[in-house]
Structure 1
Amino acid sequence: MSRPILVVDLEATCWRDKHTAPAEKEIIEIGCALVASDGTVLDDFSTFVKPLLHPILSEFCTELTNITQSNVDSAPGYPEACQLVDEWLGQRVRGLVWGSWGNYDRNQLLEEKARHCATPEFLGVPHINLKRLWARSQGIPPRGMTRALAYAGIPPEGTHHRGIDDVRNIAKLLPGISRQLINHAVARWTPYPEQGERT
């Protein structure tokens, strides 16, 4: 599969309780990278997002992500942030596949769609769980991104839990994922039901 993959990593409001459900969280950064099959980042983009339910970031959240209160105070709201992503991606969304390290990012986007009635256009194209596909390709149990990088002997760059840095690091792991597994996952993908439809 030679077409690029859109790698997406979200950061969200968080507290020391790590079991907070997506419904309680709000996206505060959207990080995106168009990545070639050899792991080369062709283009990338990031925007902070201003949270509404919990506009004041917790100290834990700021320490974890290095995203400051001033970053989100001056950021666009979620619907406007989606428009910025769409403008950056443009016509490249057609025929695209997007992936994230695990399913959290997909689930959070669906939660925000229900909350704001807005979503980036890429949510309408096939999603693949890069964490699962990478682990299957390596024949090992799934693991977090930093442990996956260590297993692959790849030094991480930037700040962990910053969306834009995480997508660049995930990009380095793409060459280790079987193209056959990616194609199979894309073929099995089905569109998400609209709000109110039966799942």
Structure 2
Amino acid sequence: MAKKLDKIIVIDVEATCWNGNPPDGMTSDIIEIGVCLLDVNTGEVTDNRGIIVTPSRSTVSDFCTELTTITPEMVTTEGIAFQDALKILKSEYDSQSRIWASYGAYDLKQFQRQCSDLGVGFPFGPSHINVKSLFAVKHKLPHETGMAGALQLLGLPLEGTHHRGVDDARNIAKILYSILR
């Protein structure tokens, strides 16, 4: 299958988290896949959405809700199974034939771990861009900076709610386009 290079899929996941270690028997699960398409020629961001995922191995803690604004009720009423979310990435975003990007390696590792643990296929092709590292190198920073810090350095506003995948994906796309220009 030929790689499609016109658009890059930008991903930002939110996962169940705790203030400290996970409770006994719980493993961090993806609860939102923020996704959008970045047109590499125009910088236009399209198809931006947050896919809410019902966690199968953990619950949404109060700490997690404070950080992400995602509540236990949201994942119960709006959430879909992880496998169904992966099908959306493959069918609607052509995730296996496009380059994908995230801010740092966390999203890549979380997907790899969860797919492996649940015995489901990895939804992306082999080409991943770590926007966090690329930004630091491009701007000759002494160390990597967070997404909010990168936007600030670019003089761009942080749009939406920080730590909501749907909004963070769009903000990361803006950072990535600033590097590609």
* Equivalent residue, structure 1, for 2:168: 166
Aligned length: 172
- 8 Å Cα contact 1:39-1:173 kept in structure 2: no
Q: Distance in 2 between matches of 1:135 and 1:36?
A: 22
CA deviation after TM superposition for structure 1 residue 121, in Å: 2.7
Amino acid at match of 2:169: V
* Equivalent residue, structure 2, for 1:28: 31
* Equivalent residue, structure 1, for 2:89: 85
1:10 equivalent to 2:7? Answer no
* Equivalent residue, structure 2, for 1:186: none
For 1:161, what is the secondary structure of its paired residue? coil
Amino acid at match of 1:30: I
CA deviation after TM superposition for structure 1 residue 18, in Å: 7.7
* Equivalent residue, structure 1, for 2:137: 136
Q: 1:42 to 1:153 in 2, by over 3 A?
A: same
Q: 1:18 to 1:157 in 2, by over 3 A?
A: farther
Return the TM-score normalized by structure 2: 0.86
Q: Structure 2 matches for 1:39-118, cutoff 5 A?
A: 39-54=43-58, 56-74=59-77, 75-90=79-94, 93-94=96-97, 96-118=98-120
- 8 Å Cα contact 1:45-1:88 kept in structure 2: no
Q: 1:83 to 1:130 in 2, by over 3 A?
A: same
- 8 Å Cα contact 2:22-2:28 kept in structure 1: no
Q: Deviations over 1:116-137 (max 9, x none)?
A: 1224532x23011110001111
Return the TM-score normalized by structure 1: 0.79
CA deviation after TM superposition for structure 1 residue 77, in Å: 1.5
Q: Deviations over 1:29-54 (max 9, x none)?
A: 01111102353203223211111121
The structure with more helix, counted as a fraction of residues:
1
Identity over aligned pairs, percent: 39
Q: 1:138 to 1:19 in 2, by over 3 A?
A: farther
- Segments of structure 2 that go 5 or more residues without pairing to the other structure are none
Q: Distance in 2 between matches of 1:42 and 1:76?
A: 22
For 2:6, what is the secondary structure of its paired residue? coil
The structure with more strand, counted as a fraction of residues:
2
